[in-house]
A and B are shown apart, each in its own frame.
Chain A
Amino acid sequence: MEEKLLTRHFDLKNLYKIEVYLKEVGYQAVKRALKEMKPEEILEEVKNANLRGRGGAGFPAGVKWGFVPQDVDKPKYLCVNADEGEPGTFKDRYIMSHNPHLMIEGIIITCFCVGIHTAFIYIRGEYEAIALRLEQAISEAYKKGFLGKNILETGFDLDVFVHRGAGAYICGEETGLLESLEGKRGHPRLKPPFPASIGLFQCPTVINNVETISNIPQIILNGAEWFLKKGLPKDGGTRIFGVSGVVKNPGIYELPLGTNLKDIIFKYAGGMKEGKKLKAVFPGGMSAPILKADEINIKMDFDSLVEAESMLGSAAIIVIDEETSMLDVLKVVTRFYSHESCGQCTPCRIGNSWINKIIKRIAAGGGKRGDIDNIIRLASNMMGKTLCPLGDAAAMPILSITKKFRKEIESYTAN
């Protein structure tokens, strides 16, 4: 069995309570970071660990922290991205509900390193029960002196708040998240300026995903070199793969980066459900370009998937069986993006709803010659032409499905 790092203690009863966490794991990383290390040393360690962002983009966390200017007289903020909206993704829910103190440790160390005294956890509105659990865990951490004023008598102060979203996929995009947290519609901002210099309330801001932040404690305890050995040289650590769809055992599987996709589906997730045959896989959430059944003999890490013209994204693996029509998949995909487009950029707002209308017409039996080329044209017009990555996120599954399953889609437009 592969070694689990983040999910190692998940089986412990009541791990979410600080007494259990202290006994079994313990806030050791916070103690070491705050008492024995300088912020520069922490930054160096995280940089060397090549911890790449687990939300989807894969940007190295240490580099992101390094962009925050140190000589400003404004407050700095940390926003933990717990919006988890990418279809197929449910890993952060597991981390927060099973082991909230691991994430809180990560938050404390990150804030100490970057010089931040206020952190917000932006959690999707539907996760109300988890938000309550986090608030409970935070209040326990205050009582034990890990949060608040003069933490562990080091003079370091930190407040952490839970902020619930209210049902908008776009608020998982980092600048959409900032706008939402400021009390507005979640309309992504034009970048630059990047949040590291001008972020929340116009102040320097670090935004990290739940899983990314939760990796920090073990990097502090075991060092960057150890962390790299658990993954790949350019891509340290493990990844929590979420498998869903037509498999025997859907769930989360924490495995080293670079684990073969075929093994994840057929070995770890138990293979296809009884009597079902594999047709296609989304390897990194629904926004990732789709892979056909004969393309899954592939390593699951950022670079290998880019090579295969797809992406690791949030490492959410959605498994589709032979009996499922790819037109139906497209219907779900395009309905989602036309609903979730924030409406700021014309190519995304119009493109997504237009494509969805065409798909619905084809599904209703009104397909016409030229429909597929029209869909491809509209989707291509979204790629790289919008403020935020939602345009690309919508175009990638649409373009890959129409390319790889063109014959099948064409068969629905034939009459």
Chain B
Amino acid sequence: MSPEFSDQTKKKIEEVLSRYPRKEAAILPLLHLTQREFGCISNEEEKIVAEILGIKPIKVREVVSFYTMLNPKPVGKYHIQVCSNLSCFLMEAEELIDYLKEKLGIEPGETTPDKKFTLTTVECLGACDQAPSMMINFDYYGHLDKKKIDELLDKLK
């Protein structure tokens, strides 16, 4: 059975569709909503979005595969995205990435067996003044060091 949106999301989808003169333009907002609701955009979700927009599922796949924030596979409850671009690199981001790998026991791109954490290295997050920085789901954290990472991760249940 294909997954179904909550009533609240259905309402939001209607509102989003009304913003654009062409339906397809609503694809990114729709994919954000889909990912929020179902955790990822796999084949099933692609089909649902395609149906709403009246396009072929392959058209949705084309878009999903282009944008790094859209996950074709499920991620952990907490998605840790560490910036590895220049300003963060200059502030020892690599050491932090190594520390996270060791602490979580996974490589970038992997999820812990308990599905709690996914670790990803990403390009510039636009928080260079707070380097080294990372995101946990949609929250930004900056001026990181090992101690701060310990404190942050300990708080996550």
The residues of A with any CB-CB pair to B shorter than 8 Å are 75, 84-90, 92-93, 124-129, 161, 163-169, 180-186, 201, 242-246, 250-252, 282, 286, 316, 318-321, 324, 328-329, 332-333, 336, 339-340, 342
| Complex alpha-carbon distance, A180 and B127, angstroms | 23
Closest 4 CB pairs of A and B: A166-B67, A244-B128, A167-B69, A183-B24
Closest to A87 in B: B124
Interface size on B, residues (CB 8 A): 40
User: Which A residues are CB-close (under 8 A) to B130?
Assistant: 250
User: Which B residues are CB-close (under 8 A) to A127?
Assistant: 126
| Complex alpha-carbon distance, A169 and B127, angstroms | 15
Contact status B87-A167, CB under 8 Å: no
Contact status B66-A340, CB under 8 Å: no
Contact status B69-A125, CB under 8 Å: yes
| Complex alpha-carbon distance, A329 and B87, angstroms | 10
Number of A-B contacts (CB under 8 A): 137
Q: Binary interface profile of B, 26-59, with partner A (CB < 8 Å = 1, else 0)?
A: 1111011000000000000000000001000000
Query: B19 in the interface, Cβ–Cβ < 8 Å?
Result: yes
User: Which A residues are CB-close (under 8 A) to B19?
Assistant: 161
The residues of B with any CB-CB pair to A shorter than 8 Å are 19, 21-22, 24-29, 31-32, 53, 62-63, 66-70, 84-87, 89-91, 122-131, 135, 138-140
| Complex alpha-carbon distance, A161 and B125, angstroms | 23
| Complex alpha-carbon distance, A18 and B28, angstroms | 29
Query: Which one, A87, A126, A332, contacts B128 given CB within 8 A?
Result: A87
User: Which A residues are CB-close (under 8 A) to B31?
Assistant: 166
Closest to A83 in B: B126
* Interchain Cβ contacts under 8 Å between A and B, 5 examples: A90-B129, A126-B135, A166-B28, A167-B70, A244-B128
Query: Which one, A84, A163, A320, A332, contacts B126 given CB within 8 A?
Result: A84
**Nearest-CB distance from A7 to chain B (Å)?**
13
Contact status B22-A332, CB under 8 Å: no
User: Which B residues are CB-close (under 8 A) to A246?
Assistant: 90-91
User: Which A residues are CB-close (under 8 A) to B139?
Assistant: 129
Query: Which one, A93, A333, A336, contacts B127 given CB within 8 A?
Result: A93
